[in-house]
Amino acid sequence: MLQYIGKRLLQSVLTLFIIITIVFSLLRLMPEEGYLGAAADKMSPAQQEIYLTNLGLREPLLVQLGNFCMNLFQGDLGKSVTYRTDVPVTTIIAGKVTYSLLFGLGAVALSLIVGVPLGIMMAYRKGRWLDRLGTGYIVFVVAVPAAVYYLVIQMYITDLFQLPMLFDEYRPITWILPLTSMALAPTASYAMWMRRYMVDELNKDYIKLARAKGVKERTLMFKHVLRNAFIPMAQYLPATILFTITGSIYIESLYSIPGMGGLLVDAIQRQDNTVVQGLVLVFSSLGIIGLILGDIAMALVDPRIKLGKGGGVR
Amino acid sequence: MTSKKPRILFIQNLVIQFTLRGRVLTAIRDISLDLYKGESLAIVGESGSGKSVLMKSIMGLLDKNGSIKQGRIIYQAQDLGQFTTEQEWLRVRGKEIAMVTQDPMTSLNPLKTIGKQIEECVVLHQGLKGKEAYEETLKLLKDVGIHDVKKRYKQYPHEFSGGMRQRIVIAIAIACKPNILICDEPTTALDVTIQAQILQLLKNLQHKYGLTIVYITHDLGVVAKVADRIAVMYAGDVIEVGETHEIFFNSKHPYTWALISSLPQLGSKGEQLYSIKGTPPNLFQEIKGDAFAPRNQYALKIDFLERPPFFQVSDTHYARTWLLDPLAPKVEPPAALQAFFAEGRQYASD
């Protein structure tokens, strides 16, 4: 197990390095005027040249990349260029990460608490009204673009309940709408998966044997089916959890939440390479950690998987 | 001999229908069948003849779109066909009537140790707890021929071979200490050497616990090894029933002839293996007369018009064919089969 985790961690370092290289190179392809921003008109070409050289942009690409990686090992992501000039990127991100984490984890918790039991009940009462209602909800959330119902919620629900439209961290009531909006989609996917995997399991032979054995239908559901249905869930859960944390870009800008998603948009618009690199690193690390956690979680619930010996074979 | 044993369960005029997309399929057409205490009854028939449906109805495991339309299933003075709630069924299912399923590879829960899976049954039906249940489980594992039981108890299904898993499925079935054990194709998924072991095991257990066993199978080889009596099913009806030697060596129904003629052992070298021409009838339609008539080379005119009653051949042997009617022309089974019959009777009398 430990050996397997070690191997996976090494692999992910490599993956991260590749991601960094690609993003780093792509950013260097962007036109240089971006770095100057509004100050471009006020600078002579010679001044501009000095400015860009100071930023390290005149070095060969490989040297730039090398420097970046060396600094990264020391926990230094560089300093912001245009977003908040000369403030370390780590400081900027640290200030934002709390909001994203709070909202992401909140939304995930909400969608797990609602979605998983909903899926279980839908499978248990397959074909009845609860199942149909749930399916309707899932179809709606999947078919309608998130942007549409996000906006509808923001415009009409705030009106209906007299809630403030924008986020204010000192007024708890303003947390409700962004959280529920964010939870809508993951709730639907958890419910859908849970229902699907449970129905899959219900059709298997061991369920027939368990029935023939005289096990009560309810015991069957919760003792036999549920755990088996959780295996595929366990694999995807951590990844989706982290995806929810990082994937809140739109909600953050709708409700003016000062989180990482809004920061990424800002940094790209202002061509703040160091901030963009830093954020990409954070996002992709979270994604990769999610995948590893998923594999480990699956190995924990499924005795058929022995990690380390010949890799994780399902 | 078997007929002198008391009946443990009997089925009377059972009709089972399924509704599929608005159409009605009659899977079991007016079956009556007796099961005697301590015997092994084999129900044979091709796929779709209703063998499994019949057994599922005894355990209350019919799919939701199927129901008993008519008839009774009497076990211990109660009509199982009238059971509607889960509670009623749980008194019988597993406890009194248990089942060994077809495919041992998929019949066990992959996430529970086999010990726990057997113990679940012990706890449920014998009311034992903790240490006692554990000891009982170990005993059951020994009973079905598994060694090193303490270690095996803690292992998962994927750590066992197919034959071993079938032993565990059997252990689960007998853990409930049932009166009747239904074995739904218990050996189809196993190779031949393991088949023989499993059948032997079932025989030993039958002896030890006084079980009544019903084998559902289309493998006549299995039937010959284990059954005391055979019921032959065709298109949802029992068309011939009798003791094993009567069915094998003195059968009267043309369908039974055809079945036995299809045994590879019977064909001679260089000749094509016998197969029954045509297909079984469509069960969505009402069947008039003898269901086998359209495929039957010996069919009489009346076979197409009226369903034959059971004609008695001996105390234990009955067949549903008009050929046994006193007015019917005398028809002999095919020559190859006659030779087989003669050989069989010779063997039996020796």
> Does the beta carbon of B176 lie under 8 angstroms from any beta carbon of chain A?
yes
Put simply, the answer to whether B93 touches A303 (Cβ < 8 Å) is no
Q: State residue B84's pLDDT score.
A: 82
Instruction: Please tell me the least confidently modeled range out of A29-38, A284-293, B228-237.
Output: A29-38
pLDDT at A266 over 90: no
Most confident segment among A165-169, B218-222, B248-252: B248-252
In chain B, where are the structural domains located?
94-227, 232-349
> Does the beta carbon of B172 lie under 8 angstroms from any beta carbon of chain A?
yes
Q: Angle, nearest 10°, between helix axes A2-28 and A61-73?
A: 140
The pLDDT confidence band at residue B39, using thresholds 50, 70 and 90, is very high
Put simply, the answer to whether A211 touches B61 (Cβ < 8 Å) is yes
Superfamily of domain B232-349: P-loop containing nucleotide triphosphate hydrolases (3.40.50.300)
Superfamily of domain A90-301: MetI-like (1.10.3720.10)
**A with B: how many residue pairs have Cβ under 8 Å apart?**
71
Of B102, B124, B158, the CB nearest to A304: B158
* pLDDT tens readout for residues B193-215: 888 889 999 999 999 988 999 99
In chain A, where are the structural domains located?
90-301
Residue to test with chain A: of B57, B109, B214, most A Cβ within 10 A: B109
Chain B residues close to A224, C-beta within 8 Å: 109, 112
* pLDDT tens readout for residues B149-178: 999 999 999 999 888 999 999 999 888 888
Q: State residue B40's pLDDT score.
A: 93
Interface of A with B (CB under 8 A): 204-206, 208-217, 224, 227-228, 231, 301-304
Q: How high does pLDDT run on average in chain B? A: 87
Chain A residues close to B90, C-beta within 8 Å: 214, 216
Put simply, the answer to whether B111 touches A301 (Cβ < 8 Å) is yes
Q: State residue A311's pLDDT score.
A: 43
Q: State residue A153's pLDDT score.
A: 85
Instruction: Please tell me the least confidently modeled range out of A76-80, A102-106, B86-90, B323-327.
Output: A76-80
Put simply, the answer to whether A214 touches B111 (Cβ < 8 Å) is no
Chain A residues close to B112, C-beta within 8 Å: 224
* pLDDT tens readout for residues A74-131: 878 777 777 777 788 888 888 888 888 888 888 888 988 999 999 999 988 888 888 9
> Does the beta carbon of B111 lie under 8 angstroms from any beta carbon of chain A?
yes
Q: State residue B1's pLDDT score.
A: 44
* pLDDT tens readout for residues A214-235: 888 888 888 888 888 888 888 7
How close does chain A come to B10, measured CA to CA in Å?
A: 20
Mean pLDDT value across residues A134-161: 87
pLDDT at A37 over 60: yes
pLDDT at B222 over 50: yes
Are the folds of B94-227 and B232-349 the same? Answer: yes
Residue of B nearest to A305 (CA): B158
Of the candidate CATH numbers 3.20.190.10, 3.10.20.600, 3.40.50.300, 3.30.565.10, the domain formed by B94-227 belongs to 3.40.50.300
pLDDT at B98 over 80: yes
Of A208, A215, A303, the CB nearest to B111: A303
